[in-house]
Amino acid sequence: MFKAVRDSKHVNIMKLRHTTPHDIPFLLETEKRFARLGFVHSDDIVTHQQQMRDPDYAYYTVQERENPAGYVILRGLTSADRSLELKRIVIAEPGHGVGTQVLRAVIDKAFCEFHAHRLWLDVFEDNHRARHVYRSLGFVEETTPSKFFQNGDRQRLLIVMSMQESKHRQKMPLRLRREI
């Protein structure tokens, strides 16, 4: 559980919990909304159901009080090289700092719970807001844009960004580094 500040008057308690089949309608609706805006890819219900059963994936729902507020998909849990992909992070109401708080929790989960060596993601080159957040938390751009994604009649470039376990450890308080 972690706190995310929405504004100076309200502090909301946020929780990252395992996604259940009951959450799929919210996930699909939210994903389609942000896919139409061009921020994320979208998958159909069958793909999500298959991935939720796959041990290589972890689905988490961001819960705000009693309501879902977003979701996260991690892939690579069974990777021999301990390289974990942040496949998707979607926050239903962006712009309030919730995504940054969720991303911090995901980073901690990747390195402390899943013992990842590397956490990586791809992001559209023109998604400056997301790239800024990722950089502010320690992700670095690994490649120059080279992977194209066809979005309707337009091609968009994807950039791979990553964080190494050693970089995460450097940012952790000394007492927590000793416990890992």
- Token reading at 176: 């927590």
User: Per-residue pLDDT tens for 139-155?
Assistant: 999 866 566 665 566 67
User: Per-residue pLDDT tens for 48-95?
Assistant: 899 999 999 999 999 888 889 899 999 999 999 999 999 999 888 877
Write the CA distances from 47 to 42, 52, 55, integer angstroms.
10, 9, 14
Q: 100-131 burial string, b = 16+ CB within 10 Å, else e?
A: ebbbebbbebbbbeeebebbbbbbbbebeebb
Domain 2-179 CATH class label: alpha beta
Write the CA distances from 30 to 91, 100, 148, integer angstroms.
8, 18, 24
Task: Name the residue among 96, 49, 93, 97 with its Cα closest to residue 73.
Answer: 49
Q: Report whether pLDDT(135) > 90.
A: yes
Residue 134 corresponds to which amino acid? Y
User: Per-residue pLDDT tens for 111-133?
Assistant: 999 999 999 999 988 888 889 99
Residue with tokens 């390289």: 83
Highest mean pLDDT among 15-19, 163-167, 173-177: 15-19
pLDDT value of residue 8: 44
Q: Report whether pLDDT(3) > 50.
A: no
Write the CA distances from 99 to 148, 151, 173, integer angstroms.
25, 24, 22
Write the CA distances from 37 to 33, 42, 130, integer angstroms.
7, 11, 14
User: Per-residue pLDDT tens for 153-166?
Assistant: 667 788 899 999 87
Give me the mean pLDDT over the 6-24 stretch. 74
Q: 12-36 burial string, b = 16+ CB within 10 Å, else e?
A: eebebeebeeebbebbeebbeebee
